[in-house]
Amino acid sequence: MKLLRLFTAIAALCLALAGSAPSAGGRTAPPRAHAASAYLVGIGDEQPEMFGSPLWRQLHTRIARYIAPYDAVLHRDSLARVTSWIRGAEEQHTQVLVAFYHSQHKPTVLPTVAQYRHAVQKFLKRFPYVRQYQAWDEANRGTVHRYFSSPSASTAAQYYQALLRLCKKCTVIGLDVLDQSKIGPTLAYIQEFKREVNRLHTVMPRIWGLHDYSDVNRLESWRTREVSRALGGQVWLTETGGIVQFGGAFPNRHGSGLTRAAKVIKYTFSLAYSQAARIRRLYLYDWTGGVNATRFDAGLTDAHHHPRPGYVAVCRHLNAPKCSVRISRH
């Protein structure tokens, strides 16, 4: 028994050393993922049909993320969608993380802190069993004229403070940021957010949210490492995964995006494992894919809920029983 334990320890050490070897470009390449228990894996999606799918159920993941308009409870259509999704999650005993976002009715108008507080307080009362929140999804994404607005780092800190005070027993994840191909503006946004938190005399977040699409979809890890270091503390990859189709940078010609996305998902698992001391959760986005005309598509299933190669990558990583499924080519 002692020899077995010694052999196991030596094997683990060799694997760790091999995984930390620098790549040809001088950056650290993540080791192979072989321990799904090192971090929790969940799915982000806004379609309640996900919870009724046998494909989703066999993964036995118990965490999921939903992006909700901050004013969802003030509008009947938004409230109906949120209610259906959260009800589906609760029926499956799935722990819900809700990230607030701009209004579906006035996406280019940011709420004042008082308006945000009023709407979010009603949301918290409506869904008392949800206990994990993010103040604003991809706060640093910027403003796209006529489509949506994003808060400044100072405003994002004030939203965070308001949410923290409204739900004192909740887990409130700090700033939720997108890495971007050039991370300089992201790092500056983080520092400004922290300065505002200190100015407000608010508790600094212990858990932070990061979307590392730019990094993993280039099969790189340096952005995730740099941004995680700037955030500090525990990091949840609140959105990540393989992009099937997104503009000219990530096309899906003849199904090439499907196989590329599956490769990216495997790489993402490896990256998370290599930073397991810091990255504790990983939410793949998303479950439901689009069609050829869809601008952004990262679905694990196609528009008709058939599994794609990316689903198989997740299925095998989580050791689900039936991963040899007939995959979609769309």
Average pLDDT over residues 8-20: 37
| pLDDT above 80 (res 174) | yes
Q: List pLDDT tens digits, range 204-234.
A: 999 999 999 999 999 999 999 999 999 999 9
- Flag the least confident range among 185-194, 250-259, 265-274: 250-259
Task: Give residue for tokens 């191909």.
Answer: 181
Closest C-alpha to 216, from 180, 235, 249, 242: 242
pLDDT computed for residue 240 by the predictor: 98
Higher pLDDT, 22 or 185: 185
Residue 280 has pLDDT above 80, yes or no: yes
| Residue 262: band (very low, low, confident or very high) from pLDDT cuts 50, 70, 90 | very high
Nearest residue to 327 (alpha-carbon basis) of 265, 266, 255: 255
Cβ 151 vs Cβ 159: under 8 Å: yes
Q: Which amino acid, residue 162?
A: A
This prediction has a pTM of 0.88
Judge contact between 225 and 186, C-beta under 8 A: no
The whole-number pLDDT of residue 29 equals 52
Rounded CA-CA distance 69/81 in Å is 11
Ranking 163-172, 192-201, 248-257 by mean pLDDT, the lowest is: 248-257
Positive or negative, the Cα torsion across 282, 287, 292, 293?
negative
Question: What are the Cα distances from residue 19, in Å, to 10, 180, 225, 281, 313?
Answer: 14, 25, 15, 20, 20
CA distances from 303 to 165, 241, 297, 298, 323 (A): 40, 17, 10, 11, 19
Q: What is the 3-state secondary structure (H, E, C) of the chain?
A: CHHHHHHHHHHHHHHHHHHCCECCCCCECCCCCCCHHHCEEEEECCCHHHHHCHHHHCCCCCEEEEEEECCHHHCHHHHHHHHHHHHHHHHCCCEEEEEEECCCCCCCCCCCHHHHHHHHHHHHHHCCCCCEEECCCCHHHCCECCCECCCCHHHHHHHHHHHHHHCCCCEEECCEEECCCCCHHHHHHHHHHHHHHHHCCCCCCCEEEEECHHHHCCCCCHHHHHHHHHHCCEEEEEEECCCCEECCCECCHHHHHHHHHHHHHHHHHHHHHHCCCCEEEEEEECCECCCCCCCEECCCECCCCCECHHHHHHHHHCCCCCCCCCCCCC
Which of 148, 122, 117, 150 is closest to 136 using CA atoms?
150
Average pLDDT of span 245-268: 93
pLDDT tens digit string along 122-136? 999 999 999 999 999
User: Could you tell me if 256 and 263 are in contact, meaning their C-beta atoms sit under 8 angstroms apart?
Assistant: no
Predicted pLDDT of residue 37: 58
d(C-alpha 309, C-alpha 266), whole Å: 11
Could you give the C-alpha distances from 61 to 26, 39, 40, 51, 318, in angstroms and in order? 35, 11, 8, 11, 8
Q: CB of 257 within 8 A of CB of 310?
A: no
